[in-house]
Amino acid sequence: MRNARFAVILTLLLVILTGCSKNVRLYNEAKKQFQYGNYETALRYNAESLKLKPNYQKAQELLPQIYPIAVKTRLDNIARIKQANAANKWDLLVPEYQALVNIYKTMGELPRLVHPKTKIPFTYETADYKPQLQESKMGAAEYHYQLGIQKALQSDDPDVQREASKEFKLALDFVENYKDAAERYAQTRKKAVKRIAIIPFEDKTGDRARFGGIADILVDNVIRTLIQDKSTAEYVDIINRANVEAVIQEQQLAVSGLVDEASSVRLGQLLGAHEILTGKILQVDVVPSRITSVEQKESA
């Protein structure tokens, strides 16, 4: 019974010590970030420290140093942005007001703080910047929406339509379901898609028997790279390899599936491709596998 009681006391002591050490670590990190000028990061660390131990004096005394300067920094940025009055000012204002909203959210989540020595409760002035944040998001959405319309009307060129679609997407990023931006995004994105034909690479290494599949491997790697890049894949339609090879055979454009530069233009027209990707394999360097031997000795 005595051993069990001792184990319980020891466990509680370990829990308390663990909580204290984490609390101190958070405070130390807050102090370090404050010295670096990362005021909002410092505020978050200090707030977490106070949540663990509301009466921690050092963290309490650091708090009134951090949050006013964090707020002032953002307000100064806002004043400069408004003074400059750039065309994209709403884009710049959104993160500033979002930061202010986050600062006061962090402050609002703090427990009641009373100084352990003076017994004076900690107080601060509250502010609500959500209306300004919403106004900035609406302004940014309208700015990109209008840019999208302007670019969409400039030309049917896929590159221009791609830029237009990006503007409509930005509008939707700022305000979900903004006007008819979703429909316009779909329309311009459809016009922006480029059909790409990848023609089998010509192997000029002179050793096809040894590197017979290298051309296919390279093509597969190119396709994989295009697909994995989300910003590119959204505007790319890779023509099926079977269709490419079928047209090559039907038109007798080359022997053994190889296409020269002149015939590749004709092939692109037949496939309805905006761009053609082809290449030549001039050299293949093989790096031999490194084998490491380890000598083991058995002890008698």
* pLDDT tens by residue, 22-73: 999 999 999 999 999 999 999 999 999 999 999 999 999 999 999 999 999 9
Out of 93-97, 128-132, 203-207, 257-261, pick the least confident.
257-261
Distances (CA, A) of 213 to 209, 226, 239, 276: 9, 20, 20, 21
pLDDT of 6 higher than 50: no
- How would you classify the pairing of strands 280-281 and 236-238? unpaired
Distance CA 122, CA 113 (A): 5
Residue 282 pLDDT: 62
pLDDT, residue 9, reads: 42
- pLDDT score, position 3: 47
Q: What is the structure's pLDDT at 238?
A: 80
End-to-end CA, the chain? 50
Which residue pairs from 226-231 have beta carbons closer than 8 angstroms and sit at least 24 positions apart in sequence? 226/196
Q: Give me 164's structure tokens.
A: 């237009």
Least confident range from 3-12, 119-128, 167-176, 232-241: namely 3-12
What sign does the dihedral 144-150-153-158 (CA atoms) show? negative
- Amino acid 201 reads F
Residue that wins the pLDDT comparison between 125 and 173:
173
> Taking 60 as the threshold, does the pLDDT of residue 293 lie above it?
no
Structure confidence at residue 53 (pLDDT) = 96
Residue 8 pLDDT level (bands cut at 50, 70, 90)? very low
pLDDT value of residue 260 = 61
Whether the predicted pLDDT of 286 surpasses 80: no
Does 93 score more than 80 pLDDT?
A: yes
Residue 11: pLDDT band (50, 70, 90) is very low
- Tell me the pLDDT band of 4, cut-offs 50, 70 and 90: very low
Q: Which residue has the higher pLDDT, 231 or 81?
A: 81
At 48 the pLDDT is 97
Residue 182 scores a pLDDT above 80: yes
Mean pLDDT of 195-222: 67
Rounded Cα distance between 42 and 40, Å, is: 5
- How far apart, in whole angstroms, are the C-alpha atoms of residue 41 and residue 102? 11
- pLDDT score of 102 more than 70: yes
The reported pLDDT for the residue numbered 135 is 98
Average pLDDT of 74-91?
A: 98
User: Is residue 71 within 8 Å of residue 106, measured between CB atoms?
Assistant: no
pTM higher than 0.85 for the full model?
A: no
Which residue would you say has higher pLDDT here, 167 or 254?
167
Tell me which of 65 and 197 has the higher pLDDT: 65
- Judged against a pLDDT cut of 60, whether residue 278 lies above it is answered with yes
For residue 255, pLDDT beyond 80: no
**Percent of the chain residues topping a pLDDT of 70:** 73
pLDDT of residue 13: 38
How deeply is 98 buried, as exposed, middle or buried, from its count of CB atoms within 10 A (0-12, 13-18, 19+)? Answer: middle
- pLDDT averaged over every residue in the chain: 83
* The two structure tokens encoding residue 222: 């190119």
